[in-house]
Amino acid sequence: MGRESIPSFRSEKIEELFRNRLVHLLARSVLDGNDYTHWLSSAAEIQEAIYRIDTYYEANGSLSMPAEQPMWGLVETRIRESNGSSCFSVWKRFSELRQYSHIESRIHAFDMIDPREFAHIVSLKAADVQIARALIWSYGTAPPQSVLDFWACFDQCGELIEDLADINEDGGDWNFNFWLYSYMAEGDVARSVIASSQILSRKLSALEEAHMNLPTVEGIRCAEVVQKTLRAGRRALSQCGMVFDLVGRGTILRYGEEPGMLGAIA
């Protein structure tokens, strides 16, 4: 039996993720033609399975482990069918993604998310794209730790920046992000905005330091990437007040407060 094709909307989302996080570009620079084609197929299928879980989170006010488990099983199956089936770093990132699912469960239950947790949470939240990135290294020798650290930091900066860029969409479909965590959990939007902006500032500084620690050739190759990320990060920080504005205007609502949702929950 052949694989079902990836729905077009998920395919576009995967393409955007891999492009924005430069995973495509990295894979092309590391892998030859056949390995790249195989990597792309496997990485896209794994990410598509992960996006099924994301869709479930966004569509449901309460989460059910029996409902989630088959979807997690599909992610595991697709990893086992990939070149990363015996790659420790791929499974490590999968474990981190499972840890992030507990954060989603807490938010759906409106548990308090302490801002001191944010630095750890952002590392977990980037685990999906880190699976795709770790899969690249499974085709050959893993790079130096400084290279791995650089891309991990780059992905975490990307999560924070993209979350703020998506704030209008997230407020409309109850898709939680860093700029909304504390607000959704306990109603204090200031804690979300202040903590998220502080974490982004620290991650941007960490990205600069990680860049300086790269081998010379890698450092030169990634210089433009770093500068673009720093500019995007500073722009995001200058715009973080929009969260206050959107909450004040009633654009961002908790699950169940949207018109028509109360009946859907009952």
pTM of the predicted model as reported, rounded to 2 decimal places: 0.89
Paired tokens of 261: 């949702």
- Confidence at residue 2, expressed as pLDDT on a 0 to 100 scale: 43
Within 10 A of 102 (CB to CB), how many other CB atoms are there? 10
23 touches 132 (CB < 8 A): yes
Tell me if 122 sits within 8 A of 203, measured CB to CB: yes
Q: What is the DSSP string of the chain?
A: -PPPPPPHHHHHHHHHHHHHTTHHHHHHHHS-HHHHHHHHHHHHHHHHHHHHHHHHHHH-SS--HHHHHHHHHHHHHHHHTSTTTT-HHHHHHHHHHHHHHHHHHHHHTT----GGGHHHHHHHHTHHHHHHHHHHHTTS----HHHHHHHHHHHHHHHHHHHHHTHHHHHHHT---TTTHHHHHHS-HHHHHHHHHHHHHHHHHHHHHHHHTS-HHHHHHHHHHHHHHHHHHHHHHHTTTHHHHHHHTT-S--TT-STTHHHHH-
Per-residue pLDDT, 184: 77
Tens place of pLDDT per residue across the chain (266 aa): 345 667 777 789 999 999 999 999 999 999 999 999 999 999 999 999 999 999 898 888 788 889 999 999 999 999 999 999 999 999 999 999 999 999 988 888 888 888 889 999 999 999 999 999 999 999 998 899 999 999 999 999 999 999 998 887 766 666 678 888 888 776 788 988 999 999 999 999 999 999 999 999 999 999 999 999 999 999 999 999 998 998 888 888 766 665 554 333 33
> Where do the domains of the chain lie?
8-252
Q: Could you give the CA distance from residue 115 to residue 245 in angstroms, rounded to a whole number?
A: 21
Instruction: From 169, 172, 174, 194, select the one nearest 184 (Cα to Cα).
Output: 174
pLDDT at residue 157 in the model: 97
* Closest C-alpha to 236, from 186, 183, 177, 187: 177
Cα angle 22, 90, 157 (rounded to 5 degrees) comes to 40
CB 226 within 8 A of CB 208: yes
